[in-house]
Structure 1
């Protein structure tokens, strides 16, 4: 193994290149504001992971259909439990318990920067710097790094795992195989549809060496899976039963089809839309990167191919594939610069190398500032503002959602108040339940259907057109005199199978 990773032959201790430390600091600087200023990319981040963790802290939480059917592992909610508990302990009436999990993810994601450095360093120090720099600043890496979701968990475990498998093939250190296998096993169990793609690096690293490679690799991978087994056993669940439930619900019963299905070409079209003219740099750089790492090209292509065969598609499902393609292009971009210069040198002149990094930065900033990516920066802000407004009402005694299209909308973790929460879906229920709530959240077109006692308090998307105002708050003076009863949010979710 060569380059600036600081490794030496004979098992000597590895130095840490100062450039790597600076790049890790850069990555933290980019990620922390995103952790503080964004809410969520997909509702699963709250309702499937933060909400159960909050429920373990407070004893009260909203349970959606997939929680009730047992198709989710407890591993990620338990991983989020420490930052949720700490945030609630420090600021029991605020939102720190929502922020600290994103900060924890941001810090955990710094391992991906090391992984990029390690992979690039096999070709040279400039390759290491370019790869780690892109991992630090590229919009997909930075934005999804702070997301407490299975997609981010999986990718952030697998990237350093892949780097360790490469290092194992170079140096033969069994510890690298064990830890690398563990991280890939952990990445697999947090997003099991990645299994076919992860078989590629396992086969590449193991080859035909049973004792030297396969025993530590499989031992490590089994350890990663056992983390999930233990997490669910702690919560009283049977080992891996959630995977069976998940496959049955989404493949046999087709529950996921309710959220939309797309053709097989959807991911390729979305990637082309996301990258736009950045593909002028990424695609030729991929060619050069693939020459150095065919395995790192085959793995993301398998990720995309497997998920293209699944009807319900979301960009976050192929996050690992996108990250690997960009990382491979970052490594290859240094070789591309050398090829374009045709100077026969092993390194790019410093000025041109600096321009290459500036180009990567400019492309990342531009792609993050325009559609389709730009919409991600404000997702979840309006719902959080609505619940923030509700919790600030003096004398709050009950909160109802009325004809909100997004179900679930109510989150105990986001509301963070011990008051009844109700789900109402018609004029009759809104009138009948009036003694049970004094704050209502509804789309603007339905505010007039609430009883006359409720007064408009504001809508949460002031810059959006009137017809897009989906989260408006109305307040009734006076106390609540009855419990939520049959209108309780969880009871209504069960009744409606939501």
Structure 2
């Protein structure tokens, strides 16, 4: 194994780039502006769409954070047995307390505030993607590769969401770029090790990537970088152990419980179901951008000329292998691996485009590269984001007269929790008028607000004294005196 060559297989200009030649560092001003706009896109989409692409968005980060900030909230079973650590929810709870101090009481306002550090993390990720590509294909190729990563469909879907996969994948990209640096080995190791540690803290499944990165450093014989990486990662690990000791009463309690539940005991497969390895084939193929099939043969040609093993590609392959042999499977688990695969391939495709002599070919090639990058996002969107429901819940509970809320045609884990209700009132979910929760709410006069999906139980609600006050998409909002 050798360290990836600092020179690109496809230079950014028509003139060859000699060994040791100085390279342009940093984006031009207009490139920084474009990059900032792209960094904002996922958060803007998430806040504008509202809803969720998976219940974990709410109940593994937003709701625990709300509980920590305000003393009440719905805690999923993982937070009762200690299967998660409190790092990310504690950061979010601090921002929620800041929102209260600033008078940001509307759910959309404090949800937007929570997006600010995520936008910063995403911007850092895109800068890392630029630096990773710029070392190989120059400034123009680096900018095109950065845009190909930033506009990659799954990034637009996931990066603004409060999922462990979303946060961890961004940290992983930063780590890949840091460890890939041929210079300043101490700084590269410190940054790489720290963000690798953070990637694991926000999502334990990313530990596979850490192991693969360490294998790559050993194979490349980058001993100094390896030492600093282990040191920085160890500091983060100690911090996690202290946090778990304070919150769960035992160092590394959440990590050990996670490994036992998901790997050793088989409880995850029994509780959530098991799938064969073929489960991932379709989502994996649909998740790849069209241009990657151009990058594969180009990368092979470049490898034949100058053999080197790509760090993000190695981590992605190792991660995919681990997913195949893990019994419980979900499409969203693919996201971090897909992103690293795109990071590895983007410089190859971008280098090919910017090396074309004709400006027209460069323009057409760049446009096709970016357009085909967006397409896979459609395959990872939830069939129903519940955006209408979340917006209806926010609207129905804003006035001071709200004392209780019933959500019809929805289960507990599909609802927005106290985070989107924004006040300490009783609320329940139900599916049908004959359900116990529905009957209880009809008898309890505190329940004076209701939201129903596609009009289910509308007649029964009106018979109990509710009247329609508005509609948001497929959701109907009702109130009663």
1:329-351, Cα deviation, whole Å (9 max, x unpaired): 2111145458xxxxxxx675544
Q: Secondary structure, in 3 states, of the residue corresponding to 1:95?
A: helix
Q: How does 1:409-448 map to 2 (within 5 A)?
A: 409=415, 411-423=417-429, 426-433=434-441, 434-435=443-444, 436-443=446-453, 444-448=455-459
Contact 2:128–2:174, Cα closer than 8 Å, also in 1:
yes
How much has 1:207 moved relative to structure 2?
4.2
- CA shift for structure 1 position 400: 2.9
The verdict on how the C-alpha distance between 1:148 and 1:476 changes in structure 2, with shifts beyond 3 A counting, is same
Q: Out of 464, 475, 482, which is 2:479 matched to?
A: 475
Uncovered stretches (5+) of structure 2, i.e. residues with no partner: 1-5, 13-18
- Relative to structure 1, is the Cα distance of residues 206 and 213 closer, same or farther in structure 2, using a 3 angstrom cutoff? farther
Residues 1:146 and 2:160 aligned together = yes
**1:356 equivalent in alignment to 2:365:** yes
Q: Secondary structure at the match of 2:468?
A: strand
Q: Is the 8 A contact 1:87 1:98 kept in 2?
A: no
* Alpha carbons 1:35, 1:103 under 8 Å: kept: no
Q: Residues 432 and 185 of structure 1: is their aligned pair in 2 closer, same or farther, counting only changes over 3 Å?
A: closer
Alpha carbons of structure 1 residues 156 and 375: separation in structure 2 relative to 1, 3 Å: same
- Alignment map for 1:66-465 (pairs within 5 Å): 66-89=78-101, 90-125=103-138, 126-167=140-181, 170-207=182-219, 212-235=224-247, 237-251=249-263, 252=265, 254-255=267-268, 257-275=270-288, 280-281=293-294, 283-284=296-297, 287=300, 293-337=309-353, 349-368=358-377, 371-373=378-380, 375=382, 379-392=385-398, 395-402=401-408, 404-407=410-413, 409=415, 411-423=417-429, 426-433=434-441, 434-435=443-444, 436-443=446-453, 444-450=455-461, 452-457=463-468, 462=473
After the TM superposition, which of the residue ranges 183-192 and 279-288 deviates more from structure 2? 279-288
Moved more, 151-160 or 88-97: 88-97
Shift of 1:71: 0.9
Q: How far 1:284 moved relative to its partner?
A: 4.1
Aligned counterparts of 1:98 and 1:165: Cα–Cα separation in 2? 33
Deviates more, 1:251-260 or 1:62-71: 251-260
- Stretch deviating more after TM superposition (283-292 or 94-103): 283-292
Q: Residues 306-351 of structure 1, C-alpha deviation per residue, up to 9 Å, x if partnerless?
A: 112222222321212111222222111145458xxxxxxx675544
Change (3 A) 1:211 1:264: closer
Relative to the length of structure 2, the TM-score reads 0.82
Deviates more, 1:299-308 or 1:74-83: 74-83
**Higher relative contact order by CA 8 Å / sep ≥ 6: 1 or 2?**
2
Query: Is 1:16 equivalent to 2:22 in the alignment?
Result: no
Give the alignment's Cα RMSD to 1 decimal: 3.4
CA distance 1:227–1:460, change in 2 (3 Å): farther
Are the counterparts in 1 of residues 128 and 173 from structure 2 also a CA contact under 8 Å? Answer: yes
* Contact 1:184 1:224 (8 Å CA) reproduced: no
Stretch deviating more after TM superposition (62-71 or 418-427): 418-427
CA pair 51-452 structure 1, distance change in 2 beyond 3 A: same
Q: Secondary structure at the match of 1:304?
A: helix
CA deviation profile, 1:365-385 (whole Å, cap 9, x unmatched): 4444xx424547x61312312
Length, aligned pairs only: 454
Paired with 1:384 and 1:460, the residues of 2 have a C-alpha distance of 12
In structure 1, stretches of 5+ residues that fail to align are: 339-345, 463-468, 478-498
Q: CA deviation at 1:188?
A: 2.3
2: distance between equivalents of 1:268 and 1:328?
Answer: 20
Tell me by how many angstroms 1:394 deviates.
Answer: 6.2
* Secondary structure in 1 matching 2:277: coil
Give 3-state SS (helix, strand or coil) of 1:119's partner: helix
